[in-house]
Amino acid sequence: MDQDVPQSEPLKLDAQDECVKDRILDPGESFGNFRVVKCLTSGLIVNYYLMQHVRDLSDVTVGIFHSRTVEDAKFFKRLQSLQKTLEGFEHESIPKMKDSGLINERHCIFLEPVRGQSLSQYFDTHGDPGEKGLEVATATWITAQLLGVLGYAHSKGLDHRDMDSELIFIQEDGALQILGVGIKLTLGVELFESIVSASVSPLISNQSVGRLNSFDVMSPEYKAGRSEDSRVDVYAVGMIGYWLLTAHKASITQYSEVNTYVKGLAEEWDAFFVSCLVKEADARYQSCKLALLGLQDTEPEDVEEAGSFVQRQIDFILKPGNSIERGGSDRRVFRLCMIGILGLSLTALVTYYMRAVFFESEEPTWHVVQQAARTEVPDLVVSLNPQSATIQLVGYKEKFIANDGLVRLMFQPGSYNLSITAPHHNEERATITIPEETLESISLEVYLQPELADVKFISEANAMVSVTDEHGDVIDLGMTNDEGVLLSEKSIIAGTYQVLVQKEGYVPGALADQKITFGEVNELKVELVSLPSSLAIYTQPEGARILLNDELVGLTPLTLDPIDPSDGHLIVAHIDGYRSLGRRVEVEAGQQLELDFGEMVPLSGGLTFTVSFVGVSDDQVATLLEDLTVELDGEVLPYSDGVFEEIQAGPLQVHLSHPLYISATHTITISNAQNIQVNANLSPRPGVLELVLPKAMSPSLLVNGKAANLVDGQISIAAVETVELELRIKNYLTMTREVTLEPNEHFVWEVDPVAISGPEVGESWTVPYLGHVFVWVPASTFTMGSPPVESGRLPSEGPKTEVRFSQGFWAAIHEMTQSKFVEIMDRNPSEFVGLQRPVEGVTWADAKLFCQLLTQDEESAGRLPQGYVYRLPTEAEWEYMARAGMTTAFSFGGEADPKFGNFRGVYPISRNEATAAATHYGTLPVGSYQANAFGLYDMHGNVQEWTLDYYNGRHPGGRLVDPAPRIEGSRIAVRGGSWEDFATAVRSAVRKEVRPDTRASSLGFRVVLAPMK
């Protein structure tokens, strides 16, 4: 994006006011090489916009940082470091950062286009802020996604810390996109505090429940300026989830249970929110995964954990390199627990978090779950899972064995190191401290991480595999794949098992006393023996010859016993004088099948169809076949199983019809006793795209880059294909989108065009569609004419006159080219033809007519600044542009030769090179030499340029302000010299007079956008 992020001139401000510098950009407003389509969201740190590039019209999300970031010299390097970090992210909910840069003295980031509704908009549409929250399933779905995305980011080393409901976007398919990941960390503490101190935003917004800003969801330690980490994000998601569910903002000082607003809600919801919003960070959920496990408790009992949406978010979170994956059912044991609700209101939340010493996991293993009433003696009650676990004080040989999973220990005040072990489970260690001043007993729940083994089973395809453990419990592990392999990863605890493999049509296979070990892939092979299969075949009349896969096997009635299992036996019955019939039979192991051909049909043929639908998977074909009909010579029949018997012999027109798909017509000839296979491939019927414009316009639509013809605002679009649409409307920004239509779908695209805005004072300007570039020439004062001592000076260059311009104007950086002249005038009078060469051979009237037509076009498009027109420059404007602040003979200095411009010879002649000639003949492409300080090319040489003034032999002298062009005379003043002039004739002050009807290969013009004269 190097060309897309130019280091443009800073935005000019009348005062260094923060509110002005950080204002919201309006749709259509220019920003560097971009134009604003709409503001996505405005925030404390970054404002995000959907913008469109002015050249290639591509969409991009642009984040514009607070103006104070430019005061930090190291911020941009940190921003580039964030960009490099995000390159390693592969999560659809975190938009890719394409580039970063500086535009108009503002740090910017450039992201993939963000679509959909903000969470605030979504809530306003689907809920009623302050009255009614979202459906429980929807609130769960959004909260789980937020935890899943942030958990992924945390595992990659980044967090958010600046959540806002306006930074969360919900796409049409329900997926989230979150802006701002890593931004707060990149900002740094000092810069963030500087921005906050300059903000006028309130620290809380209880009066508005339609949005949660970053202050609403800011955790207590964050507000207090204490140490902060990823647990800030857990708090923020808790605030957002509470708001979505209840339509109210949560208060941790006056907490209201969710049942206050949502009657009949499960109690687990309060446990979840309390553990998200507890004031002390150490008592809060310690990770997004733990929060997801808490959220999982709110799901109905009949939801299978492996298939739940919350469980999938848990699975999506990346695990650190040293962490151990937990089984689906074991995930629920890792929970932060809530100290009970005292009285009728929540008065205290006490959660102690103790991290295991030797278990490197992002999830805590030990939790204080209860503080019981005062007892006579301080003790420690430990609940163990598994119940076979034992506890040992580290450094002591004595072990404490659980009774029904409970161990009661009595300790004096102090700190104790405990080691908990169990067969086939990882050892866990923890430190427990009993304070001096308490006699209260403490209860702990301890869950040991089992040693989960990997097992690879090899058997028949699609066979069910189960194992029985040492306690007699049966564990179903699943089904082998089409290759007969089932890889069960981390699914069972290491130990000794009985293995059973079963498949219909096969004798069950078993393995006894199989030892499954931890730390390796245990491979077990179980061979199955198929049960015998048989096939009985009948026909009417009997005596038909039966061919099995083209081999004669007997006459009907016939029983083939055994017959090999197969996915497709071809059975054909032949009787002289009757039509031969065939069936393809799938025989599975152990089946006893019967095939009855029924009555044989004499002197007739049959049709069998093989139907496929373009773009449709095999498992969806059966549903589509229900609406399929077959036309046989105009007779419409239901498709049924696609087999048609007793079809009269002879030519036949066959056509398949479906409401959503199209089939070709087949012409076939049926012979006696012939069965014809018809392969029909149905293509989806096209969808219909309808454009709805707000007013009468003439749009141009491109479909996949090719022009499309609209009929009454509609066009057919290929279905089940992603189609790229590009809508062009003259003088409006181009709009693009991708659509995928279902067969026969009618899609309405309601278009809200954004007009292309005009030039802005102080900024460069490119005329839309023409592509001619103008630079801003600021108002100033200069001295017109040359001093008497200037070599080669003529009397017409004096007397020196002081000219002041009270208004700036825009000047074309190039002389008018042939390509742009042809686009407006539809002709090319030039002798030296070349699209990028200056147009020449034009009269004064030609040049002025060009300016008038360009003015009319831009005025009708509403892009012409008030009081400005496109015209030729006056003599004073021309010399002011040529000098570009210089007082020497040329804008590049006091000496010249052909390397400075398209002219001949040297200046001054005293250089003894007066006869030096240019190395070419005629004009050169514009911009072939270096521009002057104003950014204008070819002000010396190439072609002479018409001005707006009639020629006068002398300057007026004295002082002038905004001089008007001379309107009296017979000849026109031209400036700048040409390719055929020597260096002395292309000086800034040189003036020539030419008849207005002159056409010459050395005479062209340059256009300015300036105040009307």
Q: What is the pLDDT of residues 69-95, one digit of tens each?
A: 999 989 999 999 899 989 889 899 999
Among 155-159, 206-210, 276-280, 933-937, name the one with the lowest average pLDDT.
206-210
Task: Give me the amino acid identity at 648.
Answer: Q
Q: To 10 degrees, what angle do helices 288-296 and 231-246 make?
A: 30
Q: Give the pairing of strands 506-507 and 529-530.
A: antiparallel
Tell me the C-alpha distance between 880 and 673, whole Å: 98
**Coil vs helix vs strand at 312:** helix
The enclosing H or E element of 21 equals helix 18-21
Tell me the C-alpha distance between 340 and 343, whole Å: 9
- The answer to whether the CB of 565 falls within 8 A of the CB of 505 is yes
**Of 398 and 13, which is predicted with more confidence?**
398
* Residue 12: per-residue pLDDT: 32
Q: What is the mean pLDDT of residues 853-871?
A: 95
pLDDT in tens, 8-24: 333 233 333 343 456 78
- The band of 233, judged by pLDDT with boundaries at 50, 70 and 90, is very high
DSSP 890: B
Q: Which of 181, 236, 222, 186 is nearest to 66 (CA)?
A: 186
Average pLDDT, the chain: 84
Residue 388 in this model has a pLDDT that exceeds 50: yes
Q: Could you tell me how many residues make up the chain?
A: 1013
**Of 813 and 606, which is predicted with more confidence?**
813
* Residue 885: per-residue pLDDT: 96
pLDDT in tens, 759-795: 999 999 999 999 999 999 999 999 999 999 999 999 9
Radius of gyration, CA atoms only, the chain: 42
* Residue 406: per-residue pLDDT: 74
- The answer to whether the CB of 292 falls within 8 A of the CB of 152 is no
Tell me the C-alpha distance between 248 and 143, whole Å: 15
The enclosing H or E element of 538 equals strand 534-540
| pTM confidence score | 0.41
pLDDT in tens, 234-258: 999 999 999 999 999 998 788 889 9
- The answer to whether the CB of 118 falls within 8 A of the CB of 213 is no
- The band of 7, judged by pLDDT with boundaries at 50, 70 and 90, is very low
* Residue 918: per-residue pLDDT: 55
* Residue 976: per-residue pLDDT: 97
* DSSP structure string for 348-363: -----EE--SS---SS
- The answer to whether the CB of 16 falls within 8 A of the CB of 32 is no
Q: Which of 885, 882, 884 is nearest to 901 (CA)?
A: 882
- The answer to whether the CB of 907 falls within 8 A of the CB of 983 is yes
**Coil vs helix vs strand at 766:** strand
Starting from the edge strand earliest in sequence, which strands make up the sheet with 474-479, in order? 474-479, 464-468, 495-502, 509-516
**Coil vs helix vs strand at 411:** coil
Residue 337 has a CB neighbour count (10 Å cut-off) of 18
Starting from the edge strand earliest in sequence, which strands make up the sheet with 399-401, in order? 399-401, 390-393, 414-421, 428-434
Tell me the C-alpha distance between 806 and 959, whole Å: 13
pLDDT in tens, 875-899: 999 999 999 999 999 999 999 999 9
Task: Give me the amino acid identity at 684.
Answer: P
CA atoms within 13 Å, Cβ hemisphere of 305: 15
The single residue listed with the structure tokens 């398949």 is 656
